Structure 1
Amino acid sequence: MMGNRLNRRDFLWRSALIGCSAAASPLVTPMSFAAAPWDNRLVVLILRGALDGLDALRPVGDPNFATLRPDRGAGTGVALDGAWELHPALAPLVPLWRAGELGFVNATSTPYRDKRSHFDGQDILEAGTTGVGQARDGWLNRMLQAVPGIEAETTYSIGRGDMLLTTGAAPVSNWSPDAALSLSPQTERLLEMVTHDDPLFRDALGEALVLSGLVAPGLAGEILQMAEMMEMAEGGAMDSGGVMDRGDMQDARKALAEAAKAARSAGGYDALARFAAQKLRAEARIATFSINGWDTHAAQHRTLQGPLESLASVLLTLRDDLGPAVWGKTAVVAMTEFGRTARLNGTGGSDHGTAGLMIYAGGALRGQQVTGGWPGLAEADLYARRDLLPLSDVRAHAAGVMQGLFGLDRAVLEGQVFPGLDMSGAARLVL
């Protein structure tokens, strides 16, 4: 058993380092486990910040895609077939695709519509309900409540504790890495400037910096995104009066990039995947954690690269560390709170949208397919003339995976696990 105590300094640091994108990218990534009376394994990855599915899996067979994304047309990604190309950052996953161990569900979403808040979208995604605030436990925990004899594996928990996804009456153990890196004076100054106009965040950050010079490894993606935004802002660099000039901006951007590199070298998401695999090879049967950094409002051609690389590395790490026998009994499901706009915005990013992409992998699943249907990208086909139109409820696909893996009754899934769900639209994903 691991055993470091959570002290006040670490708690305040992890509590204080929040900002306008805190809901999109929680800085502490907890991991939850549950042992169960079956041999199959389930890993649920929450992609916080709203993955742009149109970029991760490019619909190059749709003639309107090249109009909406002129720099993402056919030939710019890794071809899966004539209709779909992977983002180049996902190229390492092509062997999984060819082995039938990787697939996608397109044009899917939770029941959340129109307001496009990360807080609300993630609440609905993890609660598994049709509206905000309808449940204070998560769908994965409610699934465990329906199975007699569930026991929590004894592990160690720090930071945020349970995700909403696993919160509830069923016993679940938690673990979070205790790795960190030191902030340079330049990065401290940059963080002060980022929060300059928000007294609440500025004061909390100031206290945290006094108490601790630490940053969690999961912050690497967010640091890189901040560096990209600093680079974009460099042309209109601010002057004096306590704000950065062009030289300060360049120094801060360099410091951020160095901090990101150090954070990634500390282990990052691969460390979570290795720990998950270790537990899943033993008594644990379910694991869940988050991958952050998907809120790509600007310079998406660069800011999406890192999170996609992290996702690809996590999937391959799980496969390699689980080994062929356990991987063959494993399903990995990656879900996000909503998709992004079909058109890029003026800064080369994409804004909050509606339908998105569910990514799945594992030897227990039916891969080498893109399922879920395709609504089209003509303006008249878009939701509110801006977003990919939802054709299915992502909860139905998650329920179908659990039904196939664990033999759960449909009535339990539709009534208890996902209240109000109709599973008739679930894709057949389990072998």
Structure 2
Amino acid sequence: MQMTRRSLLARSAALGCSLAASPLLTPVTFAAAPWDTRLVVVILRGGMDALDVMQPYGDPDYAGLRQSLAGGPAAGAADLDGFYALHPALAPLLPLWRAGQLGFVQAVSTPYRDRRSHFDGQDLLEAGTAGPGEAEGGWLNRLLQQLPGVEARTAFAIGQERMLLLQGGAPVSQWAPGAGLAMSPQAERLAGLLMEEDPLFHAALNEALELTRQDLSLDLGQEDGSSDEGEDMMMSMMTAPKGKAHQEVAAYAAQQLRGETRIAAFSINGWDTHQRQANGLKNALGRLSEAILTLQSGLGPQAWGKTAVVAVSEFGRTVRENGTGGTDHGTGGAMLLAGGAIRGGRVLGRWPGLAETDLYDRRDLMPTADVRGQLAWLLHGLTGAGRSGLQANVFPGLDMGADPGLLL
């Protein structure tokens, strides 16, 4: 049975309404985690501009393509290797870079091309396929189906948005801020007494009530809206998130990963920078930095040392700056890696160049690697999943190629 926060809340609310008619609920147990490393997947919704995050100031064509957005050490970016500079908004992560716990892969992409639609791009990124309809569910769920000993708590989908990434036949847990548990103080007390003989469920009820109090304090709105899903997604990508929800989500992920959970996935919005990118990307990168540092702090040194965080976006952006100080939907992008389990302090990936003849469709950064290959090697190293199963089932039709050496 799938153990989700929503189902727990529904059961607990029902108990509060009719305790006299309710027997003790069936005790819930969780199997030991089937492996010891942790994986956090962060979907950056909206199309992150790889050339502003990892600024290739060493390329002779870069400055001419980015008049107001041109970066590099002269503009306050941190020089990393004499060719790339790190956007100033990621400066809080520089200690991780120096410790070998932060890295990047430049010029990567899914097989998605030409239409540059957020919806299609994100669906292919999370499905892990070369085209629509080639496999059911998401690649993380298909990974879970390949591994022994997986229980619902092994993987968590966190957040208010649909996570195709973890949808499928394998059981997963879910949690989203804003899913409230409305119980009177008397009902809370009675439910607690009823569950007192079951320590696990008693603790779970207390956790749900505490999470609800945190949700109400965040005032993040309802989990389920009545508006169209596509419209909601577009608005969330165009509008920067409010408050510190990204930190709350990251803190909850870290809390679960300290225990039996081994995989967590969530998304951060606000990367669609058509206008005034200098300000919009700064804010988005600030949220990403805070989320990563919250994970590091919440996991603690021991668990962080076994963790890989990977942040990916559906596509990159145009190499040329547009007339409103922004960039438009592109193709090649970048992958960010963090955690004590990665081999960081490096920018990987074959650089394609920024001369017009080097660009994809004479407008975008040319992809030189399939992002699914990088993800597959991460899964192979972290979970022990076999290469044949990764290529045939998790990422159908993928050729993983040579090991890029992303992990220690």
| TM-score above 0.5 | yes
Checking the alignment, whether the CA contact within 8 Å between 1:393 and 1:425 is kept in structure 2 is no
Q: Does 2:379 align with 1:382?
A: no
Q: What is the distance in 2 between the residues matched to 1:100 and 1:155?
A: 26
The CA deviation string for residues 360-395 of structure 1, in whole angstroms up to 9 with x for no partner, is 001001000000110000111111110000000000
Letter in 2 for 1:328: G
Q: What is the distance in 1 between the residues matched to 2:126 and 2:264?
A: 14
Number of the residue aligned with 1:147: 147
Q: Please state how far the C-alpha of 1:273 moved relative to its aligned partner.
A: 0.6
Q: Please state how far the C-alpha of 1:284 moved relative to its aligned partner.
A: 0.2
Q: Which of 34, 55, 58 pairs up with 1:58?
A: 55
Q: 1:383 to 1:172 in 2, by over 3 A?
A: same
Checking the alignment, whether the CA contact within 8 Å between 2:239 and 2:270 is kept in structure 1 is no
Residue 113 of structure 1 aligns to a residue in which SS?
Answer: coil
Q: What is the distance in 1 between the residues matched to 2:47 and 2:107?
A: 13
Percent sequence identity over matched residues?
Answer: 56
Checking the alignment, whether the CA contact within 8 Å between 1:144 and 1:150 is kept in structure 2 is yes
Number of the residue aligned with 1:322: 299
Letter in 1 for 2:34: P
Checking the alignment, whether the CA contact within 8 Å between 1:375 and 1:381 is kept in structure 2 is yes
Number of the residue aligned with 2:201: none
Q: What is the distance in 2 between the residues matched to 1:91 and 1:385?
A: 32
Q: What is the distance in 2 between the residues matched to 1:155 and 1:146?
A: 14
Q: Please state how far the C-alpha of 1:157 moved relative to its aligned partner.
A: 8.8
Q: What is the distance in 2 between the residues matched to 1:289 and 1:95?
A: 24
Q: Which of 362, 365, 385 pairs up with 2:339?
A: 362
Q: Which of 71, 74, 85 pairs up with 1:73?
A: 71
Q: 1:124 to 1:97 in 2, by over 3 A?
A: same
Q: Does 2:94 align with 1:100?
A: no
Q: 1:35 to 1:347 in 2, by over 3 A?
A: farther
Q: Please state how far the C-alpha of 1:63 moved relative to its aligned partner.
A: 1.1
Q: What is the distance in 2 between the residues matched to 1:162 and 1:388?
A: 29
Number of the residue aligned with 2:165: 165
Superposed, which structure 2 residues align to 1:6-405 within 5 Å? 36-71=33-68, 72-74=70-72, 75-76=74-75, 77-153=77-153, 163-178=163-178, 179=215, 181=219, 204=227, 222-224=238-240, 263-264=242-243, 267-405=244-382
Q: 1:156 to 1:397 in 2, by over 3 A?
A: closer
Number of the residue aligned with 1:424: 401
Letter in 2 for 1:365: I
Q: What is the distance in 1 between the residues matched to 2:316 and 2:164?
A: 20
Letter in 1 for 2:62: F
Q: What is the distance in 2 between the residues matched to 1:85 and 1:272?
A: 29
Q: What is the distance in 2 between the residues matched to 1:139 and 1:158?
A: 16
Q: Which of 409, 412, 417 pairs up with 2:386?
A: 409
Q: Please state how far the C-alpha of 1:70 moved relative to its aligned partner.
A: 2.4
Number of the residue aligned with 1:244: none
Q: What is the distance in 2 between the residues matched to 1:370 and 1:182?
A: 36
Checking the alignment, whether the CA contact within 8 Å between 1:35 and 1:152 is kept in structure 2 is no
Checking the alignment, whether the CA contact within 8 Å between 1:127 and 1:137 is kept in structure 2 is yes
Q: Please state how far the C-alpha of 1:73 moved relative to its aligned partner.
A: 3.5
Q: What is the distance in 1 between the residues matched to 2:357 and 2:350?
A: 17
Q: 1:368 to 1:155 in 2, by over 3 A?
A: closer
Q: Please state how far the C-alpha of 1:129 moved relative to its aligned partner.
A: 0.3
Q: 1:176 to 1:425 in 2, by over 3 A?
A: same
Letter in 2 for 1:372: G
Q: 1:220 to 1:88 in 2, by over 3 A?
A: farther
Letter in 1 for 2:113: R
Checking the alignment, whether the CA contact within 8 Å between 1:156 and 1:176 is kept in structure 2 is no
TM-score (norm 2): 0.77
Number of the residue aligned with 1:187: none
Letter in 2 for 1:396: G
Structure 2: where are the runs of 5+ without partners? Answer: 12-30, 179-214
Letter in 2 for 1:376: G
Checking the alignment, whether the CA contact within 8 Å between 1:49 and 1:336 is kept in structure 2 is yes
Q: What is the distance in 1 between the residues matched to 2:315 and 2:138?
A: 18
The CA deviation string for residues 222-242 of structure 1, in whole angstroms up to 9 with x for no partner, is 545xxxxxxxxxxxxxxxxxx
Letter in 2 for 1:289: F
Q: What is the distance in 1 between the residues matched to 2:379 and 2:220?
A: 42
Residue 304 of structure 1 aligns to a residue in which SS?
Answer: helix
Across the aligned residues of Structure 1 and Structure 2, the Cα RMSD in angstroms comes to: 2.8
Structure 1: where are the runs of 5+ without partners? Answer: 7-33, 184-200, 206-214, 225-259
Checking the alignment, whether the CA contact within 8 Å between 2:45 and 2:237 is kept in structure 1 is no
Q: Please state how far the C-alpha of 1:35 moved relative to its aligned partner.
A: 7.4
Q: What is the distance in 2 between the residues matched to 1:377 and 1:156?
A: 39
Q: What is the distance in 1 between the residues matched to 2:361 and 2:236?
A: 34
Q: Please state how far the C-alpha of 1:140 moved relative to its aligned partner.
A: 0.3
Q: 1:58 to 1:158 in 2, by over 3 A?
A: closer
Q: Please state how far the C-alpha of 1:136 moved relative to its aligned partner.
A: 3.0
Q: Which segment drifts farther, 173-182 or 151-160?
A: 151-160
